[in-house]
Amino acid sequence: MKQLLPRTLSLSFILFLSGCAASYRPIEPPSLNYTANDSQTGIEFAYRYDVLQEKGNKKYAKKEDVKDVKLVAVKLTNNTAGAINVGRDISFYAGQRRLTLLDPMVVKNTLRQIVPAYLPYLLLTFVNFYVSNGTSTQVYPIGLVLGPGITIGNMVMAGTANKNMLIELNQYNLINKDIQKGETVYGIIGINNMGYDPLTVKMTEK
């Protein structure tokens, strides 16, 4: 029996393999090695760029440059005489420019996978598979399962990935966070893309 795979079906699988949704792989700041280090006024600070790319979150990493938003994993140790608050007592700087930390929801909405973008996969609903024995051809409407299945699968995966990213961003959100004396905290900060300028923390002028 000879099986004939239509060109449209081949293109459909190529499209699926190249454009499917991706899951979110946690950054887990406490597990990272930090090479960039800065210590000022009793605050020990270390950070790491490109954490999305390093963890294999390529779809999200690509949007960092497009949307001018960058995620940075950071480590802060409070060696001052008392508790400090991120925002009230200390601020982040790229060179001489003071940075505004982006709210986790803003970061998520900026870098998210667009769930409705996978609706065009419904066009696969019209794909048929043909099997010929030389005298007759049998048509199998596999698209009735393929189209909705791939569409729903991708939309669910993209939505879940976006949700998981937001959960981690909230878990490691440093905005208005209190750091006790001697305490070390880890965070993920979202900033406007400043390239790879050295980052520092400074006491906030009052």
Could you tell me which residue, 39 or 188, shows the higher pLDDT? 188
What's the pLDDT score for residue 1?
Answer: 36
Summarize pLDDT for 110-150 with one digit per residue, the tens: 999 977 667 677 676 777 677 777 777 777 777 776 777 77
Domain locations in the chain as residue ranges? 2-203
Summarize pLDDT for 55-89 with one digit per residue, the tens: 999 999 999 989 999 999 999 999 999 999 999 99
DSSP string, the chain: -EEE--HHHHHHHHHHHHH---PPPP--GGGS---EEEEETTEEEEEES-HHHHTT-HHHHHHHHHHTEEEEEEEEEE-SSS-EEBTTTEEEEETTEEPPPPPHHHHHHHH---GGGGGGGGGGGG--EEEE-SS-EEEE-THHHHHHHHHHHHHHHHHHHHHHHHHHHHHT--TT-EE-TT-EEEEEEEEE--TTPPEEEEEPP-
Summarize pLDDT for 92-107 with one digit per residue, the tens: 999 889 999 999 999 9
